[in-house]
Amino acid sequence: MAENVWILGITMTKFGKHTDKDVVDLASEAAMGALADGGVTMGQMGIMAAGNLMGGGGVGQQIQKQIGQTGIPVYNVANACATGATALRTVIMSVKAGESDMGLAVGVEKLAGAGLLGGGGQAKHDGNVWAPRGRYGAVASTDGRIGTDTMPGTFAQIGMEYGHKYGGADFELFARISEKNHAHSTLNPLAAYSKRFTLEEIMGDMMIAYPNTRPMCSANCDGAAAAVIVSETKLRTLSLEQQRRAVKVSASILTTDPWEEACQVLPDVNTLTRNAAKQAYEAAGIGPDDLDLVELHDCFATAELVHYDNLMLCPEGGAVDFFKSGAPWRDGSTPVNVSGGLQSKGHPISATGIANVWEICHHLRGEAGDRQIEGAKVGLAHVIGLGSACGIHVLEKSAA
């Protein structure tokens, strides 16, 4: 039987614009914060995993050079928007395997003012000669000629596809999802944006890719998050206070998308999320009805809708009714993105998959202040990195 693993310490920096801090400053702040939160030091870490997509690489060693070089292995990981969850899971696997009894996972990004990301954000130029290039033998850039490579456009189509399949998903419904998350963000002092928007303001804002207007898109910002993982055996040797605040990792799952018709035409973010959710619920021995709160990957308002269904928070095809029932609001039956989600808390890519775990832990420890979900015992954190990778962590409050 593999070792149970716990989160001993975890923290996130304020998300937003940190003009006076570089990537290593932000990562160090989060890492030292997580170590202090867990009451441990770098000297006790047996492994480290770190993620940073937009920097020059090797961020793990750069962090060590600032906060502690002890010779432990570092895994620098990259998995698009699931990078943070991948770093966390890398440390969890090491501890579960018994190779180390404690480890540190860090995710960090500097993205403020970055604009469109990925292939859809790169300038396009045609050559002087129509010469075929690449796997499609394209004689010119296909972005904008054969569909869109932009993330807002890709995820817009993903939401619209759900509407085509099940009906009821229109511009106003997607805008109302965004209205919820922006309303939730007003209680989160670490969110990049904590302004409440009216439905009219959201629908009337700049259109990016119909039906996603600007406030319906995740906010590029700077930020970092870090977590200390500990084995159950080691945890039992620590103080009662450390044991009381520790949060159990009941499931840590990472999936990629299995081949399905159309998955190489429009990314299929559904199948791999549904597979990850099934595995997570089975590993944790809990069901979606047991969840007191969920942080899911609302990179765009159109994405949040499909993940209600993929995470089985509602019957298949029932995401529109689930939202309309009020269930995902913070006073509803399954609060979703009480942090404000990526649309308002912000999305510093590599930090996101640890920051959403921090949000869950914050509630399970009863430390979430004004936005505390009272009596929260079980939560789920989900991320999707397009390409694709899906990370799900199910977390449970300590019984101690």
Partner 1 sequence: MTDTATTNGSQVPLVDYLVLADQPHLVANRCTSCGARFFDRRNACASCFATTFDKVDIATDGIVRAFTIVTFAAPGVTVPFASAVIDCDGTSVRGNLINVDPDPAKISLGMAVRLATYSMGADDNGAEAIGFGFEPA
Q: How far apart are CA 82 and CA 344, in angstroms?
A: 18
Closest separation in Å from C-beta 145 to partner 1: 6
Q: How far apart are CA 8 and CA 31, in angstroms?
A: 13
Closest separation in Å from C-beta 345 to partner 1: 22
Instruction: Output the six-digit token pair for 355.
Output: 């920051």
Site of interaction with partner 1 (CB under 8 A): 116, 120-132, 135-150, 152-153, 156-158, 160-161, 163-164, 171, 206-212, 259, 261-262, 264-266
The closest alpha carbon to 91, from 23, 12, 99, belongs to: 99
Closest separation in Å from C-beta 160 to partner 1: 4
Closest separation in Å from C-beta 151 to partner 1: 11
DSSP result, 334-372: S-B-TT-HHHHT---HHHHHHHHHHHHHHHHTT--GGG-
Is 135 buried (19+), middle (13-18) or exposed (0-12) by CB count in 10 A? exposed
Q: How far apart are CA 180 and CA 185, in angstroms?
A: 9
**Cβ-proximal residues to 176 (8 Å cutoff; 6+ apart), any chain:** 199, 323
Closest separation in Å from C-beta 210 to partner 1: 4
Closest to partner 1 by CB, 296 or 306? 306
Q: Which helix (H) or strand (E) holds 12?
A: strand 5-12
Closest to partner 1 by CB, 208 or 378? 208
Closest to partner 1 by CB, 208 or 349? 208
Closest to partner 1 by CB, 141 or 186? 141
Closest to partner 1 by CB, 10 or 160? 160
Amino acid at 96: K
Q: Are 383 and 253 in contact (CB under 8 A)?
A: no
Axis-axis angle for helices 301-310, 269-284 (nearest 10): 50
Closest to partner 1 by CB, 56 or 135? 135
In the DSSP assignment, the letter for residue 54 is S
Across the strands, what pairs with 105? 49, 227
Distance between start and end Cα atoms, the chain: 22
Closest to partner 1 by CB, 183 or 207? 207
Q: How far apart are CA 353 and CA 346, in angstroms?
A: 12
Closest to partner 1 by CB, 158 or 253? 158
Closest separation in Å from C-beta 261 to partner 1: 6
Q: Which helix (H) or strand (E) holds 156?
A: helix 151-166
Q: Is the dihedral of CA 196, 198, 204, 207 positive or negative?
A: positive
Closest separation in Å from C-beta 156 to partner 1: 4
Closest separation in Å from C-beta 376 to partner 1: 36
What number of other Cβ atoms are within 10 A of residue 132's Cβ? 9
Closest to partner 1 by CB, 56 or 132? 132
Closest separation in Å from C-beta 267 to partner 1: 11
